[in-house]
Amino acid sequence: VNGKLAILYSGSGLKTFPIGKGGIYSPVSLNYSAVSSTSIVAIEQFETGFAGSPPAGTAQLGTRFWRVSEVINTTHTYELTLNGQSFTPMGPVVMLKYNSPNTLSLTTTATSSTQIPTGFKNSLGLTTFGDFALGEIIATSIVADNATAAYGGGAVNLAASISPATATGNVEFFVNNVSVGTSAISSGTASFSYNLAGVNAGSYSVKAKYLGSESYQASSSDPEAPGTLSVTAVPLLITAD
């Protein structure tokens, strides 16, 4: 169907909407797990114009969205499966649900069926309709900075830079591949005070791992290009009598 398609539900159950727009076929399915009475659901595909602004840490996949509405109002719970066949996500896929003025990011489960070979279903039941699109959690990158300290100097700050700077959560630091502690991110950076007790003079690798959040993918600094902690020996001063 090129345009809006309305389907009658006499009770709970799964139905597929074979819809498309402008020659692009992108069916979706809606499963009523509970519905109070007879319901008529209408779904229409659009190739542009999604009005929602993805929450921080997420981005819309393409420009396509689906408008889901009900002709007869009921009390209900449902799961929606959107077609992701034409997208190439780089991160975990989420479902974006827009009801003015808010856009929610919903976790999804990958599904496959004859009608929708590459589907993404919302993980929790929905109770309201709206505009829906597919999105993804934004990838991050992290770089461990170099640091220098004097032998016996007490402590040194290990630092890492995270991109995008809007990422939130914690960073774990490693010295010579041994975890030494974690620190919270603030404005795209994380800093950890590393105690030098028992650390000899020398050069040590510093790596950082961003532990991720609901909105941002976890990431690790490049193992081939770690930061360096240089602990310098204090020169021995000898004076003649």
Residue 135 — very low, low, confident or very high, per pLDDT cuts 50/70/90? very high
Question: The whole model's pTM is what?
Answer: 0.74
What digits encode the pLDDT tens for the residues 12-31? 999 999 999 988 999 999 99
Amino acid of residue 208:
A
Phi, psi (degrees; rounded to nearest 5) at 86: -95, 5
What digits encode the pLDDT tens for the residues 137-190? 988 999 999 999 988 778 999 999 999 998 999 999 999 999 999 999 999 999
Write the DSSP string, 85-121.
TT---SS-EEEEEEETTEEEEEEEEEE--SS-SSEEE
pLDDT (average), residues 216-239: 84
List, in sequence order, every residue forming a beta bridge with 122; answer none if it has no partner. Answer: 108
